[in-house]
Structure 1
């Protein structure tokens, strides 16, 4: 079935301008009307355009196209459910079935879901290329494709720690979802994650509860546990430790008694340990965090090692703090600025009573802040600005102190 969108699709695919595509066949204005489906071209002109653009007169029934679209939507659900084997099997199947199909709506739906699949399997560069390509051919996209492109681009930006851009895309996706009446629980969960990272805990609770209700309705136990974790984090931040423990308890029970969820135990234990830390229950925090390390089996331990070191510091056990600081530094790449590196360096300054030295101020301003401002890590930026304001106040450098107090106030004024 040859229509204007297909002509536009193939012209862009071949990298041709309208003038180059229609030269010797028809006028540019006539081609523009064809691409916009404003006119029905004569069979002779359509045949010549198809020949130049490499479009075959193949026909795929509307029913077959619609059935494929339904299958692609089911594939997306498999990705959301984290049914890894099924998702990979369907990916291999679609790779073959999509060959030779050139319906723009079908191709774009497949590509946007393929981008989500690449994010799922951590092929981030492939995901970025597809999302960029979809943005370039926005004219061919339906509002649904635009929604998913915005949402998945927001997720991509979130995972590469560009919180500001992630927020911009998620806002647009959320507004479009309201217009289209699309209730995607994945969007709510992603908004809950981003809100928590930025320090908008009440809003994160709203999105997290909404996502939890939807995942429970679908019996999606893995994602339900994800929601309980994010709700536990938010309640801990809001000092409602009883509610936080309730959610962590549900998550722990689910992960311990369901073999398919065992891999989620380390994350749950780490966040439960952090909740105890925030509640100043340091012995309980250490017990949980040590169990977390055992479950992690030496993989991705930096954040937990850092939290153990901070816990000992709060208990005023300097020797133990330095011991776990050393372990934390051994678990990271010291040549790469990350949030774990920043936390460990700050603690190192404090445990050595050097947090009022110029070297501390230089580390924060020259290393930590550029990283946090680049990633727009609002929560840690507030913390760093407040610490620098206090540092300069203690040095009677009130101009510098006021500079950072102003930055703190600006961040508190921001809303999601």
Structure 2
């Protein structure tokens, strides 16, 4: 932006005509050409115009030049999860009057979208993404890659929510990023998470390891720990690692979370430990970790809904609560899910049928509603669990053609990813 554009901005803001501004200083034609960048004016005349507009022109020019630095600092603060710095820079950028008229407008909008993702404000983030795609048809190479990154992050962040996008979409978006143009290896972490949601464990581990190297190199200790958590999540305690060793690794990471004050990471580990004990049929320990995780989780979040569900499921499978208490939990979860997530709404309903031992209705609802919904959203991780239940049921009932159809659907979902 030229100095003339700064003058034009404040002139229009104050509702002053070009003729009025130029009175006693210079003619309207000079003002018009100066504002459009066709002529230059002497420092003395610029000072007089600025004085008439009651602005410090040097301060305004400095503010303009600081935009790029503030944007870079803001992006870095979000990557490093420095909350105070994130909010401070956001406020400074919002107070800059020129930012949306500058060449950095698209970058600012994209980082605002990333900020909303950081705050779990998904609708606002989606609105920003749509606005950028509509209003900024010609982005720089860096901005194109940043847009891909943010769209991929949005898909991951809204996975299993009412705004759910396919996890395969996140993989496809993030794989398009050109690192030579983008120069931000942090995206490896989000690509690893996308592969994790798609149940592609080898790829998830590979990219999580790359992310870990980047986070260690940049002293990003919290995200380095998150990358380690993601790597551990890819291990199968039946084949890849001793179960006790896996648990010990998770407990060591919990200790690191306490040292770093990384509460959200600690909650994620507690939940993951619950899942590991649940898969082993150790329901007492699973319930203990699930309960600690969901009690520390914001009740308005999708994570609370998910963690409450798995706590209730483990209580039912382990016969650790009375039937009426389990049904109370299911009812509470169903009410929350109705507002937030259709998939979990149906899963809570399925769990209720299981608790009441209405097995014929259970398998009918599983076959006619739950599994088709999972297939429609290409949700491989859910299919791994509920598709398997349906497949085994068909085999037990000697419904082999139906079992084959379930198996075909599972293989097709993996082909979509690859």
- TM, length-normalised to structure 2: 0.73
Matches within 5 A, 1:15-414: 67-99=66-98, 102-104=101-103, 106-161=104-159, 165=166, 167-168=168-169, 170-180=171-181, 182-185=183-186, 187-236=187-236, 240=241, 241-242=243-244, 244-258=246-260, 260-292=261-293, 295-296=296-297, 301-315=304-318, 317=319, 320=322, 323-333=325-335, 335=338, 337-355=341-359, 357=360, 359-414=361-416
Distance verdict in 2 for CA 1:361–1:139, change over 3 Å: same
Instruction: Tell whether the 8 Å contact from 1:232 to 1:243 is kept in structure 2 after alignment.
Output: no
Q: How far is 1:114 from its partner? A: 1.3
Instruction: Tell whether the 8 Å contact from 2:284 to 2:320 is kept in structure 1 after alignment.
Output: no
Instruction: Tell whether the 8 Å contact from 2:152 to 2:171 is kept in structure 1 after alignment.
Output: yes
Distance verdict in 2 for CA 1:388–1:311, change over 3 Å: closer
Q: Output the aligned Cα RMSD.
A: 3.8
Rounded Cα–Cα distance in structure 2 between residues aligned with 1:301 and 1:130: 26
SS state at 2:233 partner? helix
Q: How far is 1:164 from its partner? A: 5.6
Unaligned 5+ residue runs, structure 1?
Answer: 7-42, 52-57
Distance verdict in 2 for CA 1:401–1:274, change over 3 Å: closer
Unaligned 5+ residue runs, structure 2?
Answer: 6-28, 38-49, 51-56
Q: How far is 1:113 from its partner? A: 0.9
Instruction: Give deviations 1:343-381, integer Å, cap 9, x for gaps.
Output: 4444443444433x1x22442244323542454311212
Distance verdict in 2 for CA 1:296–1:181, change over 3 Å: closer
Instruction: Tell whether the 8 Å contact from 1:216 to 1:224 is kept in structure 2 after alignment.
Output: yes
Distance verdict in 2 for CA 1:289–1:383, change over 3 Å: closer
Distance verdict in 2 for CA 1:75–1:283, change over 3 Å: same
Rounded Cα–Cα distance in structure 1 between residues aligned with 2:66 and 2:298: 45
Q: How far is 1:145 from its partner? A: 0.1
Instruction: Give deviations 1:117-145, integer Å, cap 9, x for gaps.
Output: 12222333332222122223554311100
Rounded Cα–Cα distance in structure 2 between residues aligned with 1:66 and 1:246: 51
Rounded Cα–Cα distance in structure 2 between residues aligned with 1:109 and 1:92: 16
SS state at 2:235 partner? helix
Range with greater deviation from structure 2 (205-214 or 63-72): 63-72
Instruction: Tell whether the 8 Å contact from 1:313 to 1:351 is kept in structure 2 after alignment.
Output: yes
Distance verdict in 2 for CA 1:199–1:166, change over 3 Å: closer
Rounded Cα–Cα distance in structure 2 between residues aligned with 1:354 and 1:66: 68
Q: How far is 1:204 from its partner? A: 1.1
Instruction: Tell whether the 8 Å contact from 2:193 to 2:204 is kept in structure 1 after alignment.
Output: yes
Instruction: Tell whether the 8 Å contact from 1:112 to 1:130 is kept in structure 2 after alignment.
Output: yes
- TM, length-normalised to structure 1: 0.73
Q: How far is 1:319 from its partner? A: 5.5
Distance verdict in 2 for CA 1:218–1:140, change over 3 Å: same
Range with greater deviation from structure 2 (139-148 or 154-163): 154-163
